[in-house]
Structure 1
Amino acid sequence: MKVEKAAYTVLTMGLIVSVSLLATGLALRFTTYGEPLAQAILFIAAIALILTPLVTIVTIFAVFISNREIRNAIVALIVLMLMLLSAMLGVIFRIKIR
């Protein structure tokens, strides 16, 4: 499988899922009975949008491994580790600004 096709597929599906959940959450938000459910769906939509690049890098890494492109797989793994490290540092050193 080509790397470009895999990345395109994952990014497109992530966007479609996120936008669909966002539209559903907003529609429920404007109804009178859907407030708690709407908040949950909007939260899941945000998480899906945030996780899409991470899943893309994991997919690219898997494609590189299956194609036996070790150098590119190492680069994808380094990018993945940097993304995870930045997320962990963001959680550890979060500063609340008023």
Structure 2
Amino acid sequence: MSKEMLDILRHIDLNLTQEIREEDVASYCHYSISYFSKLFKRMVGVSFRDYICSKRITLAKRLLLEEPNAKIAFVAYQCGYHDVSYFSRIFKKKTGISPGVFRQINAP
């Protein structure tokens, strides 16, 4: 993987709580969006959008377990989601269960 792509992945990891738009990253790299999309998928193995979503859901799982008293809305916001119902829908779509159920099942 190129140094440039590793830098992009690092940038994503450090900014999951912020809005990360594919257009902005493509522009930063001086690529068209379509070229960047194809390049990202070829090098990383998943689309840019799926990669961001996967990283955010992984972060959400960690926060749900590490901060058992935090509200779901707080976790959603910390993972870059500004709409709690959208976060819950995406979380359930990706994991098969809601954030609240995930927390209950995995609580120590």
TM bin, normalised by shorter chain, reads: 0.3 to 0.5
TM-score (norm 2): 0.32
Structure possessing the higher relative contact order (Cα contacts under 8 Å, 6 or more residues apart): 1
Give the greater-gyration-radius structure (CA): 1
